[in-house]
A and B are shown apart, each in its own frame.
Chain A
């Protein structure tokens, strides 16, 4: 027997950045660890709280309402930016979904003013006057060691995100809008930092990606397979809803 494994997840602003049922993502990670006998520890960091860069294997930030996102943007810069950078530098996974993705970039331009981001991803987001990009979405990804290539979900964002040279897209849009509705890419990846507009939530629709995150966060550990009949059905249904 190897030493007991433990996955430590830190949810950033779970009270504020949770608008698209981000709790579902955390629940997937928890259960899929528990079912394999991997200990699971969930901590959280809210407004005004500092974080320990060594305190978690995955840092998660979901989406929020405009006002809440603004509060969090300011707080991230003041209290968490340096620690998150240090965490990412040592290889911890930082996953931002929707509003959380936007705040992992350099900034989010809202007309004349801008919300600051933490700059972990070389991306910039601009609020568009055009319609929100809303609907079912499917993207093709190529992640090291992953056994699947399609992520399905739902997107609903007013911002258009554009990648700089340091960031790679998370995937290629198969169906839906993606980062900005024009360049055919979705999400961003830079080292162990990942951002995506896919919610719905993301992980229940893509159990394989939940496992990829768990495995990567535990240093590439091979995971015991689970009975994923329902998970695969849900994934197939989400893909079909996106028209794939």
Chain B
């Protein structure tokens, strides 16, 4: 006897009870319960997503890539079931599917779009049997939780090996660790940037993946765009960056607000104006465009979807607090922080910052990474920074050792007071740089002050 409906009902009731109790934050609770009751539940529910099941993973950009993909897929008429950033492990995805299930057990949607935590990719992929898998990048992140980069890369190699022959594999050509995963998959679809004007003089300090996983030789770079992303080749085994089928050319970055580029797919090209800042978001847009190409969506629809995409939760979203625009830029690891800091440095004028460093489990308890991020190029642009969070003092120290004058630094661990100080000092705009749990706290605090809707609504 199939008892799935009963299990669904029970899990759902527990989720409602948990939410009603006001504890909040337990997005994944009903899903985890469901998986306990029925370990195959993910598989069984996702099987109803007949138009496609798409999985996105990366160290950085999962949430934004999913948001941009959703903008395109919905424009193409798909009805999506998709998870949020806070629910990207098996339990969260099960919760998402549960929430989309009607009382009769059918799903309210035809297409699944899931961002998946790097560490959960193998387990989740096995259950979801995706029609397309998008892998964006691998950077060092939360070593205390994820372990070494190469161990993640090896796990992902296992995921790729286990894919059905029919699964579209969409890979970043510019990340050697990612592109390497497609070596044995002749049908892999690559995306990448083709614009030498963007090349940096050297690899950034937090660069990873300097060695070829196959032969151990050090990659040679012709150009570097971001961290270890760029155009490279291996002098040992001769492997080189695959030619991307989906490309961005003529990229122009417009400060912390926008980017424009020419999207090239096969013989076609379209100008794209993206309402998201930074080269890192051009990569996210390319990943989403490549997924859409793999789904057979027309380039005009893709372009329209890209242009309509807006910032995801805490990813360059702007909120207003009593007339003061606050742009929130999640920072959580050296490469992601570098991308943000580089983009902020493009902004004209002096910057007022509220930087918030927490060391809760979801942030990574080890805050070493702030010393790997390149704060130095931002320092000449900073008017004042208020450092907050559980590790406010060490973050302030990072700014000090990056060369920021002491009188431009305020340390206030308590977020509400830090927000008061930062908002009071800001000249017309404020940039907030929170780690993950700090982002949740900041948005809640802004919500209490009437600035944005709370997370739960």
A15 to B406, CA, bound (A): 31
A21 to B142, CA, bound (A): 12
Residues of B close to A59: CB separation below 8 A? none
Assess whether B365 is in contact with A233, with CB atoms less than 8 Å apart: no
B368 interface residue (CB < 8 Å to A):
yes
CB proximity of B276 to chain A, nearest CB, Å: 28
A123 to B210, CA, bound (A): 30
CB-CB under 8 A for A199 and B368, given A27-B401, A227-B406: yes
Q: Which of A65, A154, A227 contacts B144 (CB 8 A)?
A: A154
Q: How many residue pairs, one in A and one in B, have C-beta atoms under 8 Å apart? A: 90
CB proximity of A138 to chain B, nearest CB, Å: 14
A234 to B391, CA, bound (A): 8
What is the 8 Å Cβ interface bit string for chain A, positions 53-67, against chain B (1 contact, 0 not)?
Answer: 000000000000111
What is the 8 Å Cβ interface bit string for chain A, positions 10-24, against chain B (1 contact, 0 not)?
Answer: 000001101111011
Q: Which of B140, B210, B366, B394 contacts A237 (CB 8 A)?
A: B394
B119 interface residue (CB < 8 Å to A):
no
Chain A interface extent, by class: 35 or more
Assess whether B211 is in contact with A67, with CB atoms less than 8 Å apart: yes
Residues of A close to B147: CB separation below 8 A? 132
A154 to B372, CA, bound (A): 15
A169 to B147, CA, bound (A): 27
Residues of B close to A204: CB separation below 8 A? 371, 394, 397-398, 401
Assess whether A31 is in contact with B411, with CB atoms less than 8 Å apart: no
Assess whether B372 is in contact with A23, with CB atoms less than 8 Å apart: yes
What is the 8 Å Cβ interface bit string for chain B, positions 77-93, against chain A (1 contact, 0 not)?
Answer: 00000000000000000
CB proximity of A176 to chain B, nearest CB, Å: 12
Q: Which of B140, B365, B390, B401 contacts A19 (CB 8 A)?
A: B140
CB-CB under 8 A for A233 and B149, given A200-B366, A204-B397: no
Q: Which of A156, A199, A234 contacts B397 (CB 8 A)?
A: A234
Residues of B close to A18: CB separation below 8 A? 205, 372
A180 interface residue (CB < 8 Å to B):
no
B393 interface residue (CB < 8 Å to A):
yes
B216 interface residue (CB < 8 Å to A):
yes
CB proximity of A236 to chain B, nearest CB, Å: 8
Residues of B close to A199: CB separation below 8 A? 366, 368
Which B residue's beta carbon lies closest to that of A28?
B401
CB proximity of B450 to chain A, nearest CB, Å: 32
B385 interface residue (CB < 8 Å to A):
no
The 5 closest A-B pairs by CB, nearest first: A24-B371, A21-B371, A233-B393, A21-B368, A21-B372
